[in-house]
């Protein structure tokens, strides 16, 4: 999915700014500029899959698990014939706007509702600085919703920390464990198909978790 999304970053940027507003985009951009300089990640980077841990009470899942059967970004692009449109084609913006609308309506995987899971991704604060945030988005690639367009709604998780996890300092890349639910939210940076109450936050360490 990373490659498919990356080839339409630039065009979708216009529709994202239009949909969510320049003020919200600019506020998030300031956070991303600081993170990008210190995190070691580049825009569009994804994390390797998490290695299943037999001793964990949570089910380790990847981002593909959030997609319902038969749904894909590639199918949407094929239906809209986006790849056939040139940069100066007046139909291009219309098609991209339709794609953004379809992404915002992207369905969740009902099989994940109320499951106790662990998932690794990138943290996008919604309520302040990273050290103080208690509400954020988890996304599959670095810079999403800030430097790059928001992913489809079924690839964004709206996260709220419980009391036990609230004292943890968040890192740009994190492994979250908690209960995920199929709940649609319209935040200032993205539309989400999932909500997650997090019990545990761990910094993402490839040597510990990646396959």
For residues 87-100, average pLDDT: 72
157 touches 137 (CB < 8 A):
yes
What size, in residues, is the chain? 211
Task: Report pTM.
Answer: 0.76
Please give the residue that has the higher pLDDT: either 49 or 192: 192
Of 15-19, 66-70, 146-150, the range with the lowest mean pLDDT is 15-19
Confidence at residue 94, expressed as pLDDT on a 0 to 100 scale: 75
Which of 199, 149, 148, 151 is closest to 175 using CA atoms? 199
Task: Find tokens 């996304």 and name the residue.
Answer: 139
Chain segment 19-64, per-residue pLDDT in tens: 444 433 343 443 444 454 456 788 888 888 777 777 889 999 999 9
Please give the residue that has the higher pLDDT: either 171 or 52: 171
Residue 83 has pLDDT above 50, yes or no: yes
Gyration radius (Cα) of the chain, Å? 17
Q: May I ask the CATH class of domain 2-67+105-209?
A: mainly beta
State how far the alpha carbon of 25 is from the alpha carbons of 35, 43, 84, 168, in Å: 15, 15, 29, 26
Give the separation between CA 178 and CA 102, rounded to whole angstroms: 28
Confidence at residue 77, expressed as pLDDT on a 0 to 100 scale: 66
Residue 179 has pLDDT above 70, yes or no: yes
Indicate if the alpha-carbon torsion angle 190, 193, 196, 202 is positive or negative: negative
Residue 69 burial by CB count (10 A; 0-12/13-18/19+): exposed, middle or buried?
Answer: exposed
For residues 123-141, average pLDDT: 79
The tokens of 31 are what? 């956070």
């Amino acid at each position: 999915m990373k490659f498919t999304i990356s080839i339409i970053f630039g065009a979708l940027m216009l529709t994202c700014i239009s949909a969510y507003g320049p003020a919200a985009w600019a506020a998030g951009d300031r956070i991303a500029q600081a993170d990008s300089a210190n995190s070691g990640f580049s825009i569009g980077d994804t994390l390797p899959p998490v290695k299943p841990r037999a001793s964990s009470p949570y089910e380790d899942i990847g981002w593909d698990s959030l997609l319902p059967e038969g749904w894909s970004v590639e199918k949407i692009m094929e239906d809209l014939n986006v790849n056939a449109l040139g940069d100066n084609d007046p139909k291009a913006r219309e098609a991209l706007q339709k794609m953004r609308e379809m992404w915002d309506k992207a369905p969740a995987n009902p099989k994940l509702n109320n499951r106790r899971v662990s998932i690794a991704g990138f943290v996008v604060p919604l309520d302040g600085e990273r050290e103080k945030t208690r509400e954020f988005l988890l996304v599959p690639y670095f810079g999403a919703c800030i430097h790059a367009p928001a992913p489809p709604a079924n690839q964004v998780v709206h996260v709220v920390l419980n009391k036990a996890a609230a004292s943890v300092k968040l890192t740009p890349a994190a492994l979250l464990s908690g209960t995920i639910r199929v709940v649609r939210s319209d935040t200032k940076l993205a539309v989400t198909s999932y909500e997650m109450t997090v019990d545990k936050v761990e910094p993402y360490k490839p040597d510990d978790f990646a396959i």
